[in-house]
Structure 1
Amino acid sequence: MSKVYTVLTGDLVGSTELSTEVLVRARDALLQAAADVGAWEADLVKGEAEFFRGDSWQLLLTKPRYFLRVALYLRAALRRERKGLDTRIGVGFGDVERIDAHRISLSVGDAFTRSGRELDRMGDAVGVAVALPDKTGDKLGWIQPMTTLCSVAMNHWSERQADIATRMLVPDGPRQADVASALEVTRQMVSKTLVAIEFSAIESALEWVEGAGWEKSLRMAKVRFV
């Protein structure tokens, strides 16, 4: 069974309407968030996230089970930077034939192809969309609805809500009291914010996605296009 990688391809929403200063801030925020993801677990990220064509970016993950947490984390990191900042994300699972660690967008493989095509298919939709390998729909058809529900849940987060959520999205992340201390607010305020954004539901979904044995179906699938 071949190793399955996960590629996230995205672009900044409404980038042509952003000032140069805001665009740079958005890019810096997303690149920093991707670097944070790389610190979650050894070898989780291959190479570094890279921007290309100005507002498009790619990130390569070695462990598919983290795809949803990473996608939500990246979107939340943009939202906490400035209201209205966001990114569309196409997620692709599959083989990677060549990895260019210095310029990840020059890497080659089905995971990259699927991810890019899924982003193109999204059109103007904002959120996260997933492209699965062929013949896995009967076993993995739940992935897109689960992803959509979690992604939609964060569409109206404020900067403060996104800031708190971003901190809590880190695997084995801090306690609410630690977040409150870092932000110099009360623990009750953090708790109320998490209740308001229904974070417990997102957390439950992430725990299920990361704990279920669905990655075996990916590894056993014929990951090339027909």
Structure 2
Amino acid sequence: MSYYAVITGDIINSTKFDAFKRDKLLQKLDTFFRKYSAESENEMHLKIQFEIFRGDSFQGLLDSPAEALKLCVLMRSYLKSQFDSELTLDARIAIGIGEISYKSEKLSESDGEAFHNSGRLLDVMKKLPQQIGLQSPWPNLNNDINIGLVLLETIISKWTPLQADVVYLKLSGQTELQISKILNIAQSSVNQRAKAASWGAVEIFIKHFNEVTKANLS
């Protein structure tokens, strides 16, 4: 039995964007998806398929469910790092884990438990206290992770664009020295921003998600 993760999300407050900003946002999302897909396949041998639809919504299919939370946090840190003086960019994302009964080149035409879990969860997430949620076939996993995601939200919601930038680069595998060169700031400043973003707690919870998800898959 093969399990997949489907992430379904939408951009928060996207209706407040004018046509120019919406197009720019979609370009950024497309660039992010293409870059992450290529890097994941080359470095981690993960197969990831992405699709943007309805202008402000997106969906992704991962063949390794244990990597789903890292992708979601990476995406949100990327969006929040894209500074906008008027609007803070962010996304609401539902992770659905399950089997796939039909897989098409277009995700919108694919079907299965993972798609149903993700789509149904996103429909109710506006009522939840967190912007990332999980629905899987395992109730204990759902309870464990969703409680943690509420706590994680208290961290992510406070990120400044500068802090989110550091988190994004750390999740991308960059060292603090490499980040200091990329951002042209002192390494001590990178460390300070990482601490202010509670990077240690974020890293631990992503690792926890990876481990407990793999345990349920085995």
Q: TM-score, normalised by structure 1?
A: 0.86
For residues 211-222 of structure 1, the aligned pairs below 5 Å read 212-218=211-217
- The counterpart of 1:118, out of the listed 96, 121, 126, is 121
- After TM superposition, give the deviation of residue 43 of structure 1 in Å: 4.5
- After TM superposition, give the deviation of residue 190 of structure 1 in Å: 0.3
In structure 1, stretches of 5+ residues that fail to align are: 220-226
Tell me how far apart the structure 2 counterparts of residues 75 and 139 of structure 1 sit (CA, whole Å).
22
Tell me how far apart the structure 2 counterparts of residues 35 and 148 of structure 1 sit (CA, whole Å).
29
Q: Deviations over 1:118-155 (max 9, x none)?
A: 0001126561011121xx22355211122232233111
8 A Cα contact 1:43 1:62, kept in partner: no
- After TM superposition, give the deviation of residue 79 of structure 1 in Å: 0.9
Q: For 1:57, what is the secondary structure of its paired residue? A: strand
For residues 104-115 of structure 1, the aligned pairs below 5 Å read 104-115=107-118
Tell me how far apart the structure 2 counterparts of residues 74 and 180 of structure 1 sit (CA, whole Å).
21
Q: For 1:23, what is the secondary structure of its paired residue? A: helix
- Name the residue aligned to 1:14: 13
8 A Cα contact 1:93 1:111, kept in partner: yes
Q: For 1:60, what is the secondary structure of its paired residue? A: strand
Q: For 1:214, what is the secondary structure of its paired residue? A: helix
Q: For 1:207, what is the secondary structure of its paired residue? A: helix
- After TM superposition, give the deviation of residue 30 of structure 1 in Å: 2.3
RMSD: 1.9
1:94 aligns with 2:93: no
Tell me how far apart the structure 2 counterparts of residues 54 and 182 of structure 1 sit (CA, whole Å).
31
In structure 2, stretches of 5+ residues that fail to align are: none
Q: For 1:100, what is the secondary structure of its paired residue? A: coil
**Aligned residue pair count:** 211
**Aligned in 2, Cα 1:3/1:192: closer, same or farther, shift over 3 Å?**
same
Tell me how far apart the structure 2 counterparts of residues 78 and 165 of structure 1 sit (CA, whole Å).
11
For residues 30-109 of structure 1, the aligned pairs below 5 Å read 30-38=29-37, 39-40=39-40, 41-47=43-49, 49-83=50-84, 84-101=88-105, 103-109=106-112
* Stretch deviating more after TM superposition (161-170 or 200-209): 200-209
* Stretch deviating more after TM superposition (144-153 or 14-23): 144-153
- Name the residue aligned to 1:4: 3
Q: Deviations over 1:71-96 (max 9, x none)?
A: 01111111111341111001100011
Q: Output the amino acid matched with 1:92.
A: G
